[in-house]
Amino acid sequence: MTNLPNCPACGASNTYPDGNLLICPECAHEWTANQTGDAPAAPVVRDSNGTALADGDSVTLIKDLKVRGSSTVLKQGTKIKGIRLGEVSDGHEVGCKIDGSEFMLKAEYLKKV
């Protein structure tokens, strides 16, 4: 078998070819053989079920979340539209608005709709 390059996203060595693409089975990153590994790939944000999230997706909360510094509780099943993926702040990688208030949430408490 030919010597295939390691995955530029996670560094795994068990990549495999699929047509013109190379695929990493560990992180599901796909790239072409002629792409350079100079620019690191943006980390993929995944919900509680492992589904990749993108800007503008709609999600629901999978459990009640207490808001720090407030008596507010975000209820399980609350639907959130138009999420924003951004800079990670203490593990909170998803930005959103709920009832007019800005929140940063952890993706592990969200499920893509």
Q: Is 29 part of any domain? A: yes
The parent domain of residue 98 ranges over 59-112
User: What pLDDT does residue 18 have?
Assistant: 87
CA distance 34 to 86: 29
CATH number of the domain bearing residue 35: 2.20.25.10
CA 17, CA 22: separation in Å to the nearest integer?
4
Identify the pLDDT of residue 48: 95
Kindly report the CATH number assigned to the domain that includes residue 93: 2.30.30.40
Q: Is residue 16 part of a domain?
A: yes
Label residue 15 exposed, middle or buried (CB < 10 Å: 0-12, 13-18, 19+).
buried
Residues 20 and 65 in one domain: no
φ/ψ of 109, rounded to 5, equals -105, 10
pLDDT in tens, 46-84: 999 999 999 999 999 999 999 999 999 999 999 999 999
Contact 62, 107 (CB under 8 A): no
pLDDT, tens digit (0-9, with 9 covering 90-100), for 91-111: 899 999 999 999 999 999 999
Number of compact structural domains in the chain: 2
- Beta strands across the sheet bearing 16-18: 16-18, 21-23, 30-32
7 and 36 belong to one structural domain: yes
Determine the Cα–Cα distance for residues 91 and 94; give it in Å rounded to an integer: 9
